[in-house]
Amino acid sequence: MLAAITATAWAQNDQGSQNAIAIYQKDGQVTKFAFTENPVVTYSGNDVVLTTTKTTVQYPIYMLQKIAFDVEIPATDVKELEQDAKPAMQFRFEGGMLVITGGEAGSTVSLYSLSGVMEGQYRLDSNGRATIPLQQLGKSLYIVKTNRVTFKFRKS
């Protein structure tokens, strides 16, 4: 159930440090919430609720285009990244599933409990996409690890 998932994250990938959660609205507005403010994304009815140490913001789901991690790329790495650009991996929670897009086709995605027990291992399809069911997981923190990104989320 979508309303039962909350997400917090930390991540470091080969394209730079992820330092915020970005909310993209259909009208073109983008709002970013720094990880230093401990953002937590939850769902309440038909709304996405983002709570930080400084504020709480509520968005009707129909107004949102996407929620993504904002990546800060060190200036010294920009030239190298332009030559070696990889599509950005994106993660979203949809219908009780974790949906991953933009990954390397055939690469592995592992799901671990906070205690380190592997809860599942999945492979990205030829389009770099995977859909991971979360319904069978209990309320806890989980870690998702790919070849490019590692992050954690809370199912409550």
Q: What is the 3-state secondary structure (H, E, C) of the chain?
A: CHHHEEECCCCEECCEEEEEEEEEECCCCEEEEEHHHCCEEEEECCEEEEECCCCEEEEEHHHEEEEEEEEECCHHHHHHHHHCCCCCCEEEEECCEEEEECCCCCCEEEEEECCCCEEEEEECCCCCCEEEECCCCCCEEEEEECCCCEEEEEEC
- pTM higher than 0.75: no
Q: What's the CATH code of the domain at 36?
A: 2.60.40.3080
Please report the pLDDT score of residue 106 as a whole number. 94
Give the chain's domain count.
1
**Which parts of the chain register pLDDT below 70?**
1-18, 71-88
- The pLDDT assigned to 72 comes to 56
| Domain around 81 | 4-155
